[in-house]
Amino acid sequence: MNQLDALRQWTTVVADTGDFKQLSVSKPQDATTNPSLILKAVQKPEYRPLLDETVKKHAGKPLDEVIDRLLVRFGGEILSIIPGRVSTEVDARLSFDTAATIARGERIVALYKAEGIDTEKRLLIKVASTWEGIEAARVLEQKGIRTNLTLLFSFAQAVACGAAGVQLISPFVGRIYDWYKKSAGAGWDEAASSGANDPGVKSVRQIYAYYKQHGIKTEVMGASFRNVGQIKALAGCDLLTISPELLAELAASNEPLEHALDAKAAAKGDTAKVSYDEAGFRFALNEDAMATEKLAEGIRAFAADAVKLEKLMLESGK
């Protein structure tokens, strides 16, 4: 049994890609996308026709709607290959606008429904884990729209997401690791900060244990991995979303893989339950320099890629 198959014993494997033609190789249960991955995909010759066709078919419609239609086009292709769910992201430029996030999420759902997709079972709307995004997700969930809260870097964000009843969270292991490594500079000890001691891994383990201890049903999906060591240290997490490159690396290894996280064992902890109102959430996030910086950086990066995608569409429509 290779490590990828071993991982599937305890964890739902999710592919993190816009390159849906690779999915038949890794055979994940679910798949996640984001603006950066879609932008990367449409710059490849084999995917550029999807962008051109979408622009031509919906010429004259608002650009933001055409982008959503492109995202749904990719999502539909992904769902034709995988058995589970696809995550489609709301424009990051709406990360601080609750009402606009709700409206955009509802439109994406409507577009999928128009394609005959069972959105309650097969779609997650991805929303940034800002206070406004979490509140938007609360409303969407109440309407039967399942959500995936992304760009999650702190315990406070995870607590607020659990309280909002979101379907799933995506704590970003690799970006947390990146921040601590950069912050340490020459003093960084890779060996001492790997595996279970990796700061990104530790963050996910803390969240996972807290959810299990307090019966919070929100699924934990580790994301943004830099190496297979981080993945192996989280074997047993509810879900892990993994790049095609790291999926291939796991599939190529037959070394033993240990069961690192266990829900029953985690539930035996005694961490006190925490709750935040808006002011408390904002202060807790502010106190976490890493989370504050990485959340802002992530929103800026996704927003910039959305602008680049718009530019490609405008060029295609000329």
Question: Active-site residue numbers?
Answer: 126
The upper half-sphere exposure of residue 100, i.e. CA atoms within 13 Å in the direction of its Cβ, equals: 10
Token digits for 80?
A: 């034709």
Which residues, at least 6 apart from 172, have a Cβ–Cβ distance to it below 8 Å?
A: 150, 151, 152, 153, 200, 223, 224, 294, 298
Which alpha helices (H) appear in the chain, and where do they start and end?
A: 3-8, 23-26, 35-42, 48-57, 63-79, 98-114, 119-122, 131-142, 155-164, 173-184, 199-213, 228-232, 244-251, 263-266, 278-287, 289-316
Q: Give the gyration radius of the chain's Cα atoms.
A: 19
Q: How far is CA 294 from the centre of its chain?
A: 14
What is the enclosing helix (H) or strand (E) of 150?
strand 147-152
Which value, to the nearest 10 degrees, does the dihedral of the CA atoms of residues 195, 198, 201, 205 take?
A: 90
